[in-house]
Structure 1
């Protein structure tokens, strides 16, 4: 049987450091994160709610997030519980799986969806927390599903895309992505292109556009290249969700490029070298990306021209960037939320949460933060 290997980022860095070494003990120099730079803070954000769950392992890229719908917030606990809140009031709590939860929560069309490493997909009723249905998939689920057009779209770690009927849980269609022998441990979540089309990015540097209702593919296109010599040097995964803005599809890849694809012509219109496992963000005709080294850069969305680059936060394990109001926000390994002027790249403020920031989401002028220590928090501008 052919095996597929998924490796964490920490192992990749260590392996690269040891290439060509003899059997003697070798001291690997650890790169220290940049200290926090001094800034004259003029911008600030304030937490309006916080919820605590169990911590996740430091090297496991679990994609847990708060699900948000109709003014309610749904928190997934790695130990297997889902809890619903209205503000700070707890509405219900349901034990979903003794095997834990590794992806979710996603809320929409009356349900909440979570999944785990055993490939079990669960849908709960938003109002009561009761289990509506569950389904056994063919691989672990490490990224949130997408709820769209009466379907729940989920990407399993073995490369199978599943669509389930939102009401019954019946499997409607599957789409098989190419098998990958060696890749980073993590996957990008499915992304909506329009009300009836879903985009899936995969570890082979391709993106796939699929009809949500029928499962018929409309597009497959490579958006990144890598000509490394070894298996590790050739890793070119797309683990951060691509972003769709009008005609543009913007994607990042590990040891690859920041790329803009024209969805109408299906042609790459520009590409800039950048290594990132994080999703980019688009604001005011600019594309913002956090690279694996800690560099943050802004690019013109039509030409790819770099507008600015900030290297003050090198090696601080930055999260994906997000937009809150008129500010760019990134999180780091110490739980610091950095506020950045999107026009200049200057640091203009900071705030603090608990634990390494794993993901940021901006919804209705509020910032949703999840951390490795199990802290979910919601922030807004002061």
Structure 2
């Protein structure tokens, strides 16, 4: 019997202190996490895993990793340069005027020369920067764990203004016209004017960590209450909603008058702007961070360790690629191929038929650990682990279980946050 916290509000992410676990307990814990359809995007520790989305620019691929490094890699898979920060990198890069921008858990937003990797400037916040910056007319907009959405001059790094929420801002903002849209950890979704004043806000279990999409008339947001919401971009009034079988897992993507979003029910959905379901495609686990749509193909990853290419109009599988870790990243797509990262500490390059061209391994080969801020632990639950549910990888232990008197093994351990456990087994 396992007792663990299921905090994080509506995220329901279990966390464990595995420092004293043996192989059986670790395998059982991982099995439970997978069975519970957990998608722990943000709560990670140092390792080589790649969580964010690569950026392709002028024959180079840019990506950050949980080994604290930001990489520039040639389209042939060779390292051009790397830049080390002081903590892990979840934030996705953006580029403008040959400067690449990204955030780090060390609290900084960085601006680097995209050709040389030389630092141009850094902007310090008082919390982790999960958020991917959005650049519009020379201004960078991004959120921080310190509860602020910042507007920063892209050339100089000078702060223009900051909007303070009641809680962390981990989601990535988008800009459409004269409005900035983003979600915050206080369950509000905000629309701000470009001077930082509130235009409207939508109250509810909104997209705390997920990026919205906008077509000019409607803004689409994924929610922890299982719903995809379509709101008036001008007023924030609810126009329609669609309820999936679990909470929304991915950023919302709008492309060619179709809305794409993934749910923790394992499905990728495609909708018309009026809310009509066009198709859904089922994977074998929770979907990754989001999707990229290009040339009538939807590309996305899943916690089932696969990367998928699906027909954008039909929802039919075109091909898939097996990796050795969860694929939270969605890809950069160029004429030469498709590039995405995995928890197995590799950046993958595949051709347009799904064949692996090369893999680039990050500086650390160990996968990143789960990490839970203690102040988010709220609830507890009890689970009985049956050895039959754990899988072939621990069959070798069944005889010892039987000698101890049963087919159900009872584990008791302290509910804390994981700091030492690597996903997939073993201790650091």
- Give the TM-score of the pair, scaled to structure 1: 0.72
CA separation in 2, counterparts of 1:105 and 1:67? 6
Match of 2:344 in 1: 373
| Closer, same or farther: CA 340–217 of 1 in aligned 2, 3 Å | same
Over 3 Å counting, the alpha-carbon distance change for 1:380 and 1:220 in structure 2 is farther
Higher helix share goes to which structure?
2
Question: 1:156, CA displacement in angstroms?
Answer: 0.2
User: Which residue, 191, 196, 201 being the options, matches 2:183?
Assistant: 201
1:177 pairs with 2:165: yes
Q: 1 or 2, which has the higher strand percentage?
A: 1
| 2:174 alignment partner in structure 1 | 191
Distance 1:65 1:330, change over 3 A: closer
Q: Distance in 2 between matches of 1:265 and 1:172?
A: 25
Q: Is the 8 A contact 1:122 1:131 kept in 2?
A: yes
1:307 to 1:105, Cα distance in 2 relative to 1, 3 A: closer
Cα 1:266–1:364 shift into 2, 3 Å: farther
**CA distance in structure 1 between the partners assigned to 2:32 and 2:73 by the alignment:** 42
In the aligned structure 2, how far is the partner of 1:247 from the partner of 1:71?
35
Report the Cα distance in structure 2 between the residues aligned to 1:308 and 1:112, rounded to whole angstroms.
36
Matched, 1:85 2:55: no
Alignment partner of 1:55 is 2:48: yes
Q: For the Cα contact (< 8 Å) 1:143–1:187, is it kept in 2?
A: yes
Alignment of 1:210-249 (within 5 A): 210-212=192-194, 215-217=195-197, 219-222=199-202, 225=204, 236-249=206-219
Paired residue secondary structure (1:320): strand
**Kept after mapping to 1: 8 A contact 2:249/2:288:** no
- Decide whether aligned partners of structure 1 residues 250 and 78 sit closer, same or farther in structure 2, where only a CA change above 3 A counts: same
Shift of 1:314: 4.5
RMSD between superposed Cα atoms in Å: 3.4
**Structure showing greater relative contact order (alpha-carbon pairs closer than 8 Å, 6 or more residues apart):** 2
Alpha-carbon distance in structure 2 between the residues aligned to 1:162 and 1:63:
23
Gaps of 5+ in 1: 1-5, 16-26, 35-52, 57-61, 181-185, 227-235
Which structure 2 segments of 5+ residues have no match?
A: 1-5, 16-27, 37-45, 354-428
Q: Distance in 1 between matches of 2:90 and 2:13?
A: 24
Calculate the TM-score normalised by the size of structure 2: 0.65
CA contact (8 A) 2:63 2:70 kept: yes
What SS does structure 2 have at the residue aligned with 1:169? coil
Pairs within 5 Å for 1:347-358: 347-358=317-328
Aligned to 2:249: 277
Q: How does 1:297-316 map to 2 (within 5 A)?
A: 297-302=269-274, 304-310=275-281, 312-316=282-286
1:90 positional shift: 5.0
Aligned pair partner of 2:309 in 319, 332, 339: 339
- CA distance in 2 between counterparts of 1:32 and 1:134 reads 38
How do residues 37-116 of structure 1 correspond to structure 2 at under 5 angstroms? 55-56=48-49, 63-88=51-76, 90=78, 92-116=80-104
Partner of 1:41 in structure 2? none
